[in-house]
Structure 1
């Protein structure tokens, strides 16, 4: 009886596509099931995974070939993303005030259009006799949009939201002006122009994170392969006569093993089975892996904290320079990095540890949820969902507190607990300003990332799909097996680049804002305690220094 086969790397494997044409007498083969379907299933289980793995290897080879032929253009796309991100930050110096008002009035205009549209739809369906009560519950949501009550509810909700936004704009106009001026002084050439190296610091953070990943992976690999290996004597061809006595339970040493010790079974070999799991070290190995994973999370959070404290120290040195730029210290970014390493390692490690503990709690909760998902009732699922939501909010809150605590550490050099308390109290005394600044910053960064990633992604799509051809270029999109792989690579790389640049901008805004709040509370504009804020902020707040310049003090 011949089984249909297909060649794979010079070897014959059963052809899964032809298994449906197996003749009926195949079921009489001794040792196989009586059912043809069972026989087909057995062969599929034995060969399907192998053939799929070879197919995956072929796909991986094709993808690697695409990267090999398109890598210069991928790098060009990433360079374009870097230039666009830098250009966006530089333009924010001149467009930030305009963009703030455009965003505000854009939201108001969108709400006004929504009110008009809902009123128009309400008038159109006013003659319709159908109501939500007559429709009842249905999965066809389109039917709800054909009822006047739905549009009336939308109209009322949008009117309430629009009214709240208008009242907020009226009563918080001064704080919005402060945010606008704060962004004007924290973007573009001021203060990043005095420390352009700050834009490259995300590369340092990325390298340190790679070191953490490499150390974690190497440690996990060493732990997984630790212990004494176990080798067994196995008959590679058990159908040979004389091999029936080899059952795979006899230990062996591969260095001293010779097949001549088993003359009746020439296919006998000494094969690695696993690592010895009976010794105490191997039994408790999972605890070492858990310890390694916790250390990895701690190191990652510490590296991020180090970057935040370094940037905060650099930007704080700019704000607290009374005469700009003459009072700005030399190499402010390097100075912030050295101060963080010399004085603040313990505080940064403690803050990273608190965040790590919260993340471990979330991981444990996710593990419990996965293990008990099949046996949970609706009440248990609700409680689990609430717990996960609470821990998610707690992690966001800890990140917010840590970020501002690191800024206070960079400014005053106090320990983590004191800095976190002072930062939290300072922010709570100015909670409305904090909310306005945070939301405006999020919107600006969102549109910035959307512009960078979307623009570069669309450009890479037209190029790698062959819709744009560069004259004189030897690159041909027809030679790519999967043209979407370079596109995905460029899009992901563009997002990481934009996130790195904008994270520096975001840290600059947060640092200068916290410095501004401290300046406003601690100083009064006198000669002994002059304001360090910009003239634009002092004008908005009706503040002024009695002596603006050091030369005037000498006069």
Structure 2
């Protein structure tokens, strides 16, 4: 496995981990922090061009190599930070002056008061450093010091603390957010609890309100499109008689000008008329199927309210998905730390090393050296002149990362497949045991989980493997597309986009097929391929019913989510903004808090309520799909006789004009 300390701890210019490879020195100090900040985002690629050393602690003082120095020379040299994390009094620097040490990049040209952040020494006294932007600060005795780098350039305080300022601003924002959340955590919990209650009540109310909501919606659509059609043709008849309204249609940025033309209203009237005709045709020819869809929604609502344990089922898959994500991240980080140090050669500025070269020639050679890769850990002269940039992956780790990504897709889809089959088995048992409750298990959810885990693991693995493979191929294509973007080949880009689109469509189809195949497996215990073929042929024979049930379910669930989020979000907004207690200072102080950012807890409440409603909706949607497939199987395999009675509810039988034999005969047959 890799070395996790490379991720947690900083590394110096030689690629050594501070605190481990350099014992007793866990912090990283930058010789010239300004040179790092100037690079901006390019810093990630090029690395910081200044020497970086491990130190025992971040300095708590200011010092500049340009002085003035009123203290003894030994004390002044003790304030310097040099290579190896030592001061200038170290024996190896004894024969060099302060100017020589700075010019040869053996020691930092200035030292800044700093604090540790993720093991890096970052300027801490922002207000003092900012000053008037001149780079002048004061040492521990109060004397002014002008910070200057090795090139005799003034270090502007604004530049030095640019990144630190952003970090501090974010830290301040984060602290305020934490303060707001600490004051409103009880409100958040109450609102989440309310969203749970509302979601459950919504599913229960569907037993009696689904029909009303669907038919009311159709009536409103008919009324809306009828009014729209009549109004548009009325405006058309009025405007066509005027001079302005009879003008030809011309392009204009003035949107209002289009509504002064008769042709605009004629087009709108035709569109509204077409939509009205479509709605009326649906009501005339699909009326019976809409009633069946509503009855199936009622049955699913009844099943959920009878087996309330299914509403808490999403908790287990959620925990399993968190475990999968944690495992995949652990492996990804482990692979990332299997790496070698990468550096670039730097030119030694000592004139004795490169005699006879002028300044321009030395600069040209220095630029060439920076393009040469090297190993900063080599114990030779080349290694000493090699600056560490980052830890680069070994060539084989990219393939392992892709395999890890594939396993992530496979495991996540396996958990989702297990969820679907477990719920399908639970609802299928409810449907087929409706005439004989004694045949039903005491805990259908656990029974279905047991069957899915011990008898259908192979089907779950195979179905999830197919989806994971397509997802992995799509990600791989995106990776290849990003790599080939520099080539700017339109034909290649077009082909990659087409392949990605095809894989996306195929993935959507496989998700639909898997979902229904797992329902058939839960009913009959078939293999994955047999169940897929049976489910696909069954749905193909009932494609209109499938469309109607799917759209009616989507509409009902959308309304449910909208109602839950609106009620909970509205309650939270009224409370957090103090609108409920407006005009009463005592109640405002007692029941509300002075928040910095009220939108943060409000956003969390809205998001949490939507997630809760979505979890309930996912269970209900699986119940609808399962009961719908059970209904189709019941309709095709049974005829209502004593030997083969219908298992559907009386409401469904009445809608379809079906009926069973005498109840006593049915019970005997069962």
Indicate the TM-score class for this superposition, using the shorter chain for normalisation.
0.7 to 0.9
Q: Partners of 1:78 and 1:306 in 2: how far apart?
A: 27
Unaligned runs of 5+ in 1: 21-25, 34-38, 239-246, 254-267
Residue 468 of structure 1: SS of its match in structure 2? helix
The Cα shift of 1:226 comes to 3.0
Q: Partners of 1:377 and 1:144 in 2: how far apart?
A: 42
Q: Partners of 1:390 and 1:127 in 2: how far apart?
A: 52
Paired residue total:
508
The equivalent of 2:213 in structure 1 is 99
Whether 1:108 aligns to 2:222 is yes
8 Å CA contact retained: 1:6, 1:15: no
1:518 paired residue among 623, 633, 636: 633
The equivalent of 1:500 in structure 2 is 615
Q: Deviations over 1:367-426 (max 9, x none)?
A: 455566687698887776665544433332221111111111111111111111110110
Higher Cα radius of gyration: 2
The equivalent of 1:66 in structure 2 is 180
Q: Deviations over 1:52-91 (max 9, x none)?
A: 1222122122212211221111111111111110110111
Whether 1:414 aligns to 2:526 is yes
The Cα shift of 1:343 comes to 0.9
Whether 1:157 aligns to 2:271 is yes
Q: Partners of 2:399 and 2:131 in 1: how far apart?
A: 43
The Cα shift of 1:15 comes to 3.2
Unaligned runs of 5+ in 2: 1-65, 68-109, 115-122, 136-145, 350-369
8 Å CA contact retained: 1:132, 1:144: no
Compared CA separation, residues 331 and 513, structure 1 to 2 (3 A): same
The equivalent of 2:475 in structure 1 is 363
Q: Partners of 1:367 and 1:133 in 2: how far apart?
A: 53
8 Å CA contact retained: 2:233, 2:269: yes
The Cα shift of 1:317 comes to 0.3
The equivalent of 1:476 in structure 2 is 592
8 Å CA contact retained: 1:308, 1:507: yes
Q: Partners of 2:276 and 2:437 in 1: how far apart?
A: 44
Compared CA separation, residues 69 and 171, structure 1 to 2 (3 A): same
Compared CA separation, residues 390 and 115, structure 1 to 2 (3 A): farther
Compared CA separation, residues 134 and 155, structure 1 to 2 (3 A): closer
The equivalent of 2:579 in structure 1 is 467
The equivalent of 1:209 in structure 2 is 321
Which stretch of structure 1 is more off in the superposition, 146-155 or 72-81? 146-155
Name the TM-score, length of structure 2 as normaliser. Answer: 0.68
The equivalent of 1:181 in structure 2 is 295
Which stretch of structure 1 is more off in the superposition, 157-166 or 220-229? 220-229
Compared CA separation, residues 466 and 366, structure 1 to 2 (3 A): farther
Q: What is the Cα-based RMSD across aligned positions, in Å?
A: 3.8
Q: Partners of 1:132 and 1:425 in 2: how far apart?
A: 55
The Cα shift of 1:14 comes to 5.1
The equivalent of 2:94 in structure 1 is none
Compared CA separation, residues 11 and 166, structure 1 to 2 (3 A): closer
Q: Partners of 2:644 and 2:330 in 1: how far apart?
A: 54
Q: Which has the higher helix share?
A: 1
2:547 paired residue among 435, 448, 451: 435
Q: Deviations over 1:471-497 (max 9, x none)?
A: 59845332x211110011011111110
Q: Deviations over 1:21-73 (max 9, x none)?
A: xxxxx9x999489xxxxx99x98666423321222122122212211221111
